[in-house]
Structures are given as structure tokens and as C-alpha cells.
Structure 1
Amino acid sequence: MKALLYLNKYLVKYKWYLIWGTLFTIISNLFGIYPAQLVRYALDLVRETLDIYYLYAGTSLQESIYSMFAFSILLYGLLILALALLKGFFLFLVRQTLIVMSRHIEYDLKNEIYDHYQTLPLSFYRKHNTGDLMARISEDVSKVRMYVGPSLMYGMNLIVLFALVISYMASINMRLTFFVLLPLPVLSIGIYLVENIVIRRSEEIQRSLSRMSTFVQEAFSGIRVLKSFVQEKNSTEKFEHETNEYRAKSLRLTLVDALWQPMTVLLIGLSNVLVIYVGGQEVISGRLTPGNITEFILYVNMLTWPVMALGWTMSQTQRAAASQQRINEFLEVKTEIVSTKHLNRDIQGKITFEHVRFTYPDSGIVALKDFSMNVRAGESVAILGTTGSGKSTIANLLTRMYDPTSGTIRIDDVPVEEYGLPTLRGQIGYVPQDVFLFSDSISNNVRFGLPEMSQERVDQAVRDADLYQNIVDFPEGFETRIGERGITLSGGQKQRLSIARAIARNPKILILDDCLSAVDTNTENIILNNLKRIMADRTSVIISHRVSSAKLADQIIVLDDGNIIETGTHDELMARNGTYRELYDKQLQAEEV
């Protein structure tokens, strides 16, 4: 239950909903208790009136007595109806306060989790799968809402009703009250035993649900690969395995609930039997009236639903505790990628790497070993190397997706740690190796980094990326929706759209991370020629395994296994007849073939 203490700040925030909800709960229960008293008065009136009615049999007073009796019973009936309507009205207000409060808390908690997700570094996302992240912000938050909403409402109703009913029953007859409440300790022990089973099985269900969500998300994201390898049947079998496991765990939890409900009804029924038996003895002894017995039975029935709901409430509370614990695990994760001085200023674009070493924290792979680089503002540098040489790591370090294990990275002679993250990243245009596009229009994808961007600027960025003609040929032009992850576009079109998105925001530093790998040589030459003008006034970092992409650069760095093995201009490296010349000749021969 300690995990749920985290929600106290929200209960304080919406304290007036809670206060009014508590008040309305008390009032509604008062209107629920009074009808039982009216029933007692009515039954006692019937018993007393019948004696008098038969006493005056055959006289004119008998008809008058009957009229008064009928009027009194009608009055009691109308009063009971009025109190029932008032109770219903205040129950409506209870739901309009406590349940509405739970919806507000659900909204705030989801936004808090989502905002926190966005502050976490890439290392966090490398350790956790998407399905698990989605389950915590959807399923787990929904379970928590059941605690701050229905569970809190029913629990509060139970406490208020017990306080009112038991105190009133005790004022009438303490002995009968004792026997009526005798089954409750057994109920409490049952709750204590059941709740431990419920929380354990609820955690198992949540873990199973996370695995199932992850599997479905991966299957649908990779549906083209799944279909091309004709693995639909295999995928279905794996999904059935996950759902069978989820079903088995859910049925185990349902078994506990199924055993708990009949036991609760049995204990409530035992209370009714005790009321009739012990109450009958009290009536015989003259300490109670038959109306009191009926009143007590009504009280027991009033307690039936809250007591039955107690097991459900405890179950939901335990599930919420398990879910909130999972949520807290992520909320307690703090990013180390923070600004030390929160500098907010324009950058010119000078880049300096000084003896940088980087090891990926999740895998332990050493990506860079003593890497140094100095690029003046407005210059361009090409970083070449084979797969796994550490090229993309440089882009991740420059955008502060990670911090170096050792060494220093400076921009304009200022350590990158001193810049505010929005300031730094807002002035960098990044074209990732793995293109990601959003399920939106082409126009909105281009202006993603600057939503208020004019359409003229969007058009120019698309022209520079050599994508304009493709777009105007689409039936809906720039308003064409490209589908999830850009599925409606070809690989080359997606890469060019990603380039347009980066250059449209007019960044001071442009990073092209192997972004021309999916385009043909002719398209590459067109884009490179357009990039000459684009890169003229900004610092550019071209990361590629193609030598042709490096021709535009003022300096070229060749990486191998995280080490710099060659550096210089194109002509200088060609003259050395080293690794760069070897790469150039091999790729030239491949293009000729």
C-alpha cells in the first residue's frame, strides 16, 4: 500500500472534490437510514392500530380509526419515497465529485508519466520495450483510477454507513447489535488472507499483459516482414501462447473472487438469521418490538452491499497498489542528461571533441576510443567507416542523447553540458539513419520541428531534398497522409522527407547520419548538389559508409572500431593510398558494375 502514497499529492490537489464527496456520502447514507426507522414506526403503528381497530368492532369509531390508519400509512410511504429520491440525488452528487476526481487524477497521472518518459535518455529505451511502456501509461493508470474512484467511493461509503448504522443499532439494543456484527471478524480475517493472494496474482497478470502488448506491437510494426516470410501462422501460435498464459493467470485470480463472493453472502445471511433468532428472544422479553426486528433486518441488508463490495474494493486497491508500484519504478528513474548552467544562446557551430571515449551503458560495447575532432563554424566534416565503427555514436553524443564516458565535447568552446537541452537540440538538424516518420500529412512531417513554419519554407525544403516532384504527383499533394512510420512511401522517399524535415528548420549544425543509403547514385548526386548550397552557411557533419557522400566535406575522418585511422581532405587521403583510397576504389568498381 505504500506505493499508493504517491497519489496523495493529487488528493490534496483535488481536495474539494474529496471533501464534498465525503459530505454527500454522509448525507446520502442519512437519507438511507431514516426509511428503516419509518418502517419500524409503520409496523408498530399497524400492530397497535389493529388492536384498537378490533376493540371498537361494530362501532362508528372503527371507520374513523381505519381512515386515520390509512392516512398514516400513506404518509409514511410518501416520506419513504421522498427520502429514497433524496438519497438517489445525493448519490448522484457523490459520483459527480469522487468519480470526476478520479478522472482528473487519471488525466494528470497519464500526462505526468508521458512528460517523464520524454525526459529519459536513450539508454532507458534500449532497456525497456515499447509494450511495457504503453501498458504502464494505459492499463496500470486505469487500475490506479479504480482505486481513487470507485474503490475510494465504496470504501468511504462503507465507513460512513458502518459508523451511522452501528451506532444507531447499539443505541437500540447492544446485545442484538453484538450478534449481528459477530460474523464481521471472520470477514476481516478472510480479507487479510485473500488480499495477499490477489496482489501476487495481479502482479503476474500485469507482467503477462505487458509481454502480450509488446508482442502485438512488434507484430503489427513489422507486418511487412512477417507477411514476406509467411509467418502468420507462427505469429498466431505465439500470440495464442501469450493469451493462454494471460487467461490462465486471470482465471486464477477469478477463482479467488468466485470463492470470496459466496463466503461474503453466507456471512451476511448468518447475520440475518441471528437478527431473527436473538431479536425474537428480545421481543419475547419485552425489550424490543417487532418493528425493531424489521428495522434491524433492513440495516443488515443496507450493510450487505458495502460488505460484499469490501472484497471487491480490497481487490481493486491491491491491483492499484501493484500497478502504482510499476509506475513508480519508472517515475523514480532520473535522467543524467541534464544541463549544468542552462545556457540559452545562439550557437555559431564550432565543434570540438577532445579525447572522447564512450561505452554504451546497457551493453558495455566500447563505441569510441580516444576520439578527437575539431570543426570550425561553417565547415563540413565527413565521418566514414564500416558498420559498427562508431559513426552514429558521434551523432548521439553531439545531440546529447548520451554523455561521453570520458573526454569533453564543446560547441563554440563551451561544454555541451552547459547548454539547455532545448536550446542545443533546437539548433541542430538531425537526419537519423533509421528514418522515423509520423502518421500525418507530408506537410506536417516537414514542419515537425517548427510547427508554425510557412508553406513556402516547406516547399523549399522539399525541393532541396529532391522530393518536390514526387509529392505534387500524389493525388492530395502535401496533404497526403503517409501512414504509420511512412509506410506509404518508398525507402528513398522516406529518407528524402527526413532530410527535408531537418533542413526546413534552418539549423546551425546539420547532421546527416548515413541518410542517403536508400537512394540511387543519381538521386544522391542531385541531393548532394543541393546540399552544397544548404551546407554553405552552417556546420555539417556527414556520417556515411559511402565515399561519394564525403566529397563535399572540408575534412574527412575515417573510423575503424572506434579509432581514427585516417584524417584529411579528399585529395590528401587519395594521395596516401590508404584505407580511404581502398574504400573509394571498391565503391567506384561496384558502381561501374
Structure 2
Amino acid sequence: MKHLRYLNKYFYKYKWWIVPGVFFVIISNIFGVVPAQVIGFAFNLITENLSIYKLFAGFDRQEIVYDIFSAGLLYFGTVVLVLYLLRGLFMFFMRQTLILMSRHIEFDMKNEIYAHYQELSLGFYRRNNTGDLMNRATEDVNRVRMYVGPAIMYALNTAVQVVLIVYFMFNVNGTLALYSLAPLPVLVLTIYYVNTGIHDKSEKIQQRLSSLSAFVQERLSGIRVIKSYVREAQTREAFALQSEHYKGESMKLVRLQALFYPAMLLLVGLSTILTVYIGGRQVINGSISAGNIAEFIVYVNQLTFPVTMLGWVTTLIQRAAASQKRINEFLQLRPDITGGTIASGTLEGGIEFKNVSFTYPDTGIQAIRDINLKIRPGQFVAIIGRTGSGKSTLANLLMRMYDTDQGMVCIDGTDIRERDLQHYRSQVGFVPQEVFLFSDTITNNIAFGLDQPDQEAVRNAAKNAAVYQNIVAFEHGFETMLGERGITLSGGQKQRVSIARALIKEPRILVFDDCLSAVDTKTEEEILGNLGHVMKGKTTLLIAHRISTIKNADLILVLENGQIKEQGTHAELLGLNGSYAEMYTSQLLEEEESKIK
């Protein structure tokens, strides 16, 4: 239960739902147990009146006895019916408090988990797959809800019902009560033995379910690749294998439960047999009446449901504990990146890297080595280099997706780690290398960084990103709904919509991480020309592979093996006749060859 202690804060929050819920549990069970006594009285009435009825056989008074007998049965039947109706009413109130409380807790938990996911750093998402994250926020939370709602409700109901039944049984006859309850200790030992197995198997089931969810999510995301390589059959086989593993773990739990429930019912049946046998002998001895046996049989049968629920509740608690353990593992994680306290003023755009080195924690690859760089406010800086040279890492460090291992990144002379994250990022426009668009309208995708979308600002951003004409050509224009990850658009259109999303923020610093690769040369020149106007007086960093894209930059950096190998203007770098000049010559040759073809 140690993992479930985390839920105590929710119980405290909703204590005014729990208190009346417990009250309704007690009242409903009182109205559920009292009918057994009424049935006992009615049974004695039947046996006594039958004897009297037979004594008056052949006399006129026999009809009077029959009328009295019928009226008595009708009275007791009505009393039992009213008591059960009252029980049903309070059970309704019980569910309206405790079950609704569990839905509120489920709502709060999902919001807490999602908010915590938002706080965790980028490295967390590199280490965990999406399917597992989703499963913990949905399936695991649902199993915890079954604990805070049905499990607690039925546990309280069982406890109150057992206490009341045991009290009334001993109040009638202690000896008969002891014999009737004798099988219960065996039941307790059985539950104790089974608990551990249920917990272990439940945890394995959740792990398998997470793996299965991750598999499906990944394959659906890559469905185009699967179809292109005609791997549907192999994917089905892999899914069947994953499902087989999940089914295997689930069947182990089912087999354990299949032995558990019949054992409980067997013990309850044994209690009924003992009640009839021992009770019958005591009736013969005159210790109790026949009505008491009927009363005890009702009590024993009433115990059947609580005992059955005891096993079900045990399963719910064990599965909830396994799920809450998985949830706690993530909730106890603290973000690698935490914001500072400086959250005032507008950025000027000055950037400085001081002796910066960085190694990716997951792979151990050192991406940046001793980088020293100073960028003046309003400067247009381009970064070029071969794949794996560290270009995107510089952008990630500037966006503070990661923190440096050595050295520091300064913005306007202040260590970036001292700045408030939200305040800082709100003034930086970032266009990532891997474009991501949401399944929403084009308008909402472009205005994603704004609290209140401005249609005019959306259109201007689209024009500056050279995607306006493409959008208005669609049947629904800016209100066109995009498919998952923007699948409705072409690669170049997605990149330009992503650029528009960054431009609409009117950032003080704009970072392009190789986001013009799918754009033709003419469109690229149009975008860069617009940027020269939009970003005038603001700092721009452009990561690219094509030199034609960056030759007009104020400063060009050539990265190689995580270090700045060359830097300067286009003309200065050509004059060095080094790596930059070699790449420029190579790209010119490629362009000439493409023109000839």
C-alpha cells in the first residue's frame, strides 16, 4: 500500500465526499441486514400459525386463523420490501458520492500527470517512448480510479456488512455463529497467499500493455514507410507476437483468479452446511428456534457477496498499487532544466557562447567542444557544416532544451540559466529541423504561439513565409484541417507553415534549424528577402546545408567535429580557401550538373 499513499492528498481534498459516502454505506447496510431478522420472525410465525391452523381443522375459526396468518405474512413481506427499497435508495446515494469522487480524482490525476510531463526536459522524452507515456496517463490512471472509487466503496461496504452480520449472529447464538464463521480464517490465509501473485502479475501486465501501446503508436506513425516497403505482413506478425506476450501474462492472472473465486464460494457453501447442521441440532435441543436458522442462512448468504467482493477488491487494490508505482516513477522525476528568476524586460538579442562543451547523456557522444562565439544584437548569423558537426546541438543549447556540460551560454550578458524559461522562450522563435504540425486548422497551427489568434497577423506571417498563395488555393483556405503531423501538406509547405508559426511571435531572436531543405531556390530567396525586412534589428541564426542560402549572412560559422573551424563573411571564407570554399565549389558543381541533366 506504500505506493497508494500518494493518493492521500486527494482523499483529503475530497473528504466532504467521503464522509457522507461512509454514512450512506452504514445506513444502506443496516437496511440490508435488518430484513434477516424480519425473515426469522416471519418463519417462526409461519411454523406457529401452521400448527394452530391444523388444530382448528373442521372448525369455523380456522378461517379467522388463516386471515390473521395471511395478514401477518403480508405485513412482514411489506416490511422487507420497504427495507430493501430504503437500502437501494441509500446505495444510490453511496455511489453518487464515492464513485463521483473517484471520477474527480481521475480528472485531477490526469491533469497532474500531463502538467508534469510538460515540465520534464527533452532528455526525458528521448529516454521514454510515447506509448508508455500515454499508457501511464490513461490505463494506469483508470486502474487507480478503480481503487479510489469501486474498490474503496466495496471495501467499506464489505467491512460494515461483515461487522453488522457478525454482531447480529453472535447476538442470536454465539456457538452457531462460531461454527458458521469457522471457514473465514482459511479464506484470510488464501487471500494473503494470492495477494503477492496478483500484484506481481498485474505489474507485468501493465509493462506488456505499455510495450504493446508503444508498438502500435510507432507503427501507425510510420505507416507510410511500412506501406512503401510492403512490410504489412511482417508488422502484423510482430503485433501478434506482442499481443501473445500480453495475453500470456493476462492468462496467468486469470488462472490465479479462477482458482481464487471458486475457493471462496466453496468456503461460503461450507458455512451454510455447518449452519444447517449445527443449527438443526440446537433447534432439537430447544436452544434456538427454526426461524433463527432461517435468519442465519440469510446472514451466511449475505456474506457471499462481501466475500466475493473481497477477492475482487483485493485484485483492484493490487493492480492499482502496480499502476500507481509506475505513475509515481515519473511523478518523482524532476526536470533536468529549471528556470531562473530573471523574467523582466525585452531581449536585445546579444548571444555569447563561453567555452561551451556538451555531451549527450543518453549516447555519450560529445557534440560540442570548447565553443567560443559572440553574436551582436541584430546580427544575421549562419551556421554550416556536415551532418553530425553539432549545428542542431547549438540551436538546442540556445533554446535551452539542454544545459551545457562546461562553460555557459549568455543572453545579453546574462547566463541563460538565470533567466525564466517561459519569459525567455516567449521572445525566441524556433523552427526545428523536424517540422511538427498539429491536427488542427492552418490558422491555429500558425497562431500556435499566441494566446489570441489575430487573422491579419496570421495572413502576414504566411506571406512572409511565402506560403500564403498555397494556403488560399485550398478549398477552405486558412481553415483547412491538417491531418496527423500535417500530412495534408507537402514537405515544403509544412516547413513554411512552421516558419510562419515562428514569425508571428515577432521574436527578438529567431533560430532556423535547417528548415529550408525542402524549399526550392526561388521560394527560399523570397523567404530570406522577407526575413531581412521582418527581422531587421533582431538576431537571426540560420542553420543550413546550402551555401546559396547563407552567403548574405553577416557572419558564417563552419562547424566540424563540434568545433568552429572557420568563421567570417562569405567573401572572407572563400579567401581562406578552406572547408567552406571546398563545400562552395562542390555545391556549384552539383548545380551545374543538374542544369545539364
Bucket of the pairwise TM-score, normalised by the shorter protein = over 0.9
Q: Give the whole-Å Cα distance in 2 for the aligned partners of 1:17 and 1:316.
A: 21
Q: Which residue of 2 aligns with 1:70?
A: 70
CA contact (8 A) 2:32 2:87 kept: yes
Q: Which residue of 1 aligns with 2:85?
A: 85
Q: Which residue of 2 aligns with 1:135?
A: 135
CA contact (8 A) 1:428 1:507 kept: yes
Amino acid at match of 1:217: Q
Amino acid at match of 1:407: G
Q: Which residue of 2 aligns with 1:295?
A: 295
Q: Which residue of 2 aligns with 1:252?
A: 252
Q: Give the whole-Å Cα distance in 2 for the aligned partners of 1:520 and 1:440.
A: 26
Alignment of 1:49-448 (within 5 A): 49-448=49-448
What CA deviation, in whole Å up to 9, does each residue of 1:280-308 have, x standing for no partner? Answer: 11111111101000000001111101101
Q: Which residue of 2 aligns with 1:564?
A: 564
CA contact (8 A) 1:343 1:418 kept: no
Worse-matched range after superposition: 59-68 or 349-358? 59-68
Q: Secondary structure at the match of 1:447?
A: helix
Unaligned stretches of 5+ in structure 2? none
CA contact (8 A) 1:457 1:504 kept: yes
Q: Give the whole-Å Cα distance in 2 for the aligned partners of 1:395 and 1:127.
A: 20
CA contact (8 A) 2:357 2:406 kept: yes
Deviation at 1:377, TM superposition (A): 1.2
Alignment of 1:487-566 (within 5 A): 487-566=487-566
Deviation at 1:553, TM superposition (A): 1.8
Q: Give the whole-Å Cα distance in 2 for the aligned partners of 1:473 and 1:349.
A: 37
Q: Which residue of 2 aligns with 1:40?
A: 40
Q: Secondary structure at the match of 1:175?
A: helix
Q: Secondary structure at the match of 2:368?
A: strand
What CA deviation, in whole Å up to 9, does each residue of 1:413-459 have, x standing for no partner? Answer: 11111111110111110000000000001111000000413111100
Q: Secondary structure at the match of 1:393?
A: helix
Deviation at 1:529, TM superposition (A): 1.4
What CA deviation, in whole Å up to 9, does each residue of 1:304-363 have, x standing for no partner? Answer: 011011111111110110000000000011013112324233211111111111111111
Q: Secondary structure at the match of 1:409?
A: strand
Q: Give the whole-Å Cα distance in 2 for the aligned partners of 1:342 and 1:236.
A: 53
What CA deviation, in whole Å up to 9, does each residue of 1:19-74 have, x standing for no partner? Answer: 11111010000000111111111111122222333334444433322222211111
Worse-matched range after superposition: 86-95 or 546-555? 546-555
Q: Share of identical aligned residues, percent?
A: 53
Q: Secondary structure at the match of 1:357?
A: strand
Q: Give the whole-Å Cα distance in 2 for the aligned partners of 1:23 and 1:449.
A: 50
CA contact (8 A) 2:459 2:468 kept: yes
CA contact (8 A) 1:555 1:568 kept: yes
**Distance change (3 Å), C-alpha of 1:3 and 1:342:** farther
Q: Secondary structure at the match of 1:347?
A: coil
Amino acid at match of 2:380: S
Amino acid at match of 2:458: V
Q: Does 1:590 align with 2:590?
A: yes
CA contact (8 A) 2:378 2:536 kept: yes
Q: Secondary structure at the match of 1:537?
A: coil
Q: How large is the Cα RMSD of the aligned pairs? A: 1.1
CA contact (8 A) 2:352 2:413 kept: yes
Alignment of 1:451-470 (within 5 A): 451-470=451-470
CA contact (8 A) 1:10 1:105 kept: yes
Amino acid at match of 2:472: V
CA contact (8 A) 2:444 2:453 kept: no
CA contact (8 A) 1:349 1:538 kept: yes
Amino acid at match of 1:588: L
Q: Give the whole-Å Cα distance in 2 for the aligned partners of 1:344 and 1:153.
A: 51
Amino acid at match of 1:528: L
Q: Secondary structure at the match of 1:336?
A: coil
Q: Give the whole-Å Cα distance in 1 for the aligned partners of 2:53 and 2:211.
A: 75
Amino acid at match of 2:529: N
CA contact (8 A) 1:532 1:552 kept: no
Amino acid at match of 2:278: V
Amino acid at match of 2:564: I
Worse-matched range after superposition: 524-533 or 385-394? 524-533
Deviation at 1:573, TM superposition (A): 1.0
Worse-matched range after superposition: 377-386 or 325-334? 377-386
Q: Which residue of 1 aligns with 2:474?
A: 474
CA contact (8 A) 1:344 1:419 kept: no
Q: Give the whole-Å Cα distance in 2 for the aligned partners of 1:537 and 1:37.
A: 89
Worse-matched range after superposition: 286-295 or 66-75? 66-75
Amino acid at match of 1:539: T
Amino acid at match of 2:67: S
What CA deviation, in whole Å up to 9, does each residue of 1:346-404 have, x standing for no partner? Answer: 21111111111111111111110011111111111111111111111111111111111
Q: Secondary structure at the match of 1:280?
A: helix
CA contact (8 A) 1:444 1:451 kept: no
Worse-matched range after superposition: 339-348 or 111-120? 339-348
**Distance change (3 Å), C-alpha of 1:582 and 1:412:** same
Worse-matched range after superposition: 581-590 or 342-351? 342-351
Worse-matched range after superposition: 541-550 or 283-292? 541-550
Q: Give the whole-Å Cα distance in 1 for the aligned partners of 2:412 and 2:527.
A: 28
CA contact (8 A) 1:348 1:508 kept: yes
Q: Give the whole-Å Cα distance in 1 for the aligned partners of 2:592 and 2:18.
A: 76
Q: Secondary structure at the match of 1:335?
A: coil
CA contact (8 A) 2:132 2:210 kept: yes
CA contact (8 A) 1:471 1:478 kept: yes
Unaligned stretches of 5+ in structure 1? none
Q: Give the whole-Å Cα distance in 2 for the aligned partners of 1:283 and 1:387.
A: 93
Q: Give the whole-Å Cα distance in 1 for the aligned partners of 2:176 and 2:362.
A: 66
| TM-score calculated relative to the size of structure 2 | 0.98
